[in-house]
Amino acid sequence: MARITSFRETQPRYPMLRIAGLICVLFGSLLALLGIGLLGWGLALALGATVGPIATPPFFAGMCVLYGVGIEFGALQMFVVAGLLQLMIHLEENTRATAQAVETIRARMEPKPEGVQPFFAA
């Protein structure tokens, strides 16, 4: 059975996960801004602001608030997905570092070849 040696590489891995996480953060930020704007506009309409010469029906203000809250939940979901992707990347990096440390410890515990003297004599 061949030994697994892929953990010896040190460069960052999974560039597509990193890009997907960045896209989720950017899209979540845009959704958050849109949701805040829509929520603020709906609340302003509900509190009596008018748009143009025609009075705005209360149903429209309520729908703006409802859609604003829904978009905010969508933004929260995008941030959660980005956080999960970062968690997966960090989990892989920490697992790789642990595998490297265990490999170092295992190499120190292997029997020494003939003729090699220890540094410290007992």
Paired tokens of 101: 């440390």
Task: In whole angstroms, give the CA distance from residue 30 to residue 33.
Answer: 5
Mean pLDDT, residues 67-94 taken together: 94
Count of all residues that appear for the chain in the document: 122
CA-to-CA distance for 122 and 13, rounded, in angstroms? 45
CB 82 within 8 A of CB 25: yes
Q: Residue for token digits 């509190």?
A: 47
Give the pLDDT confidence of 9-68 residue by residue, as tens digits.
667 778 899 999 999 999 999 999 999 999 998 888 888 766 666 677 778 888 999 999
In contact, 45 and 51? CB cutoff 8 Å: yes
Q: How far apart are CA 113 and CA 111, in angstroms?
A: 7
pTM strictly above 0.75: no
- Residue type at 100? Q
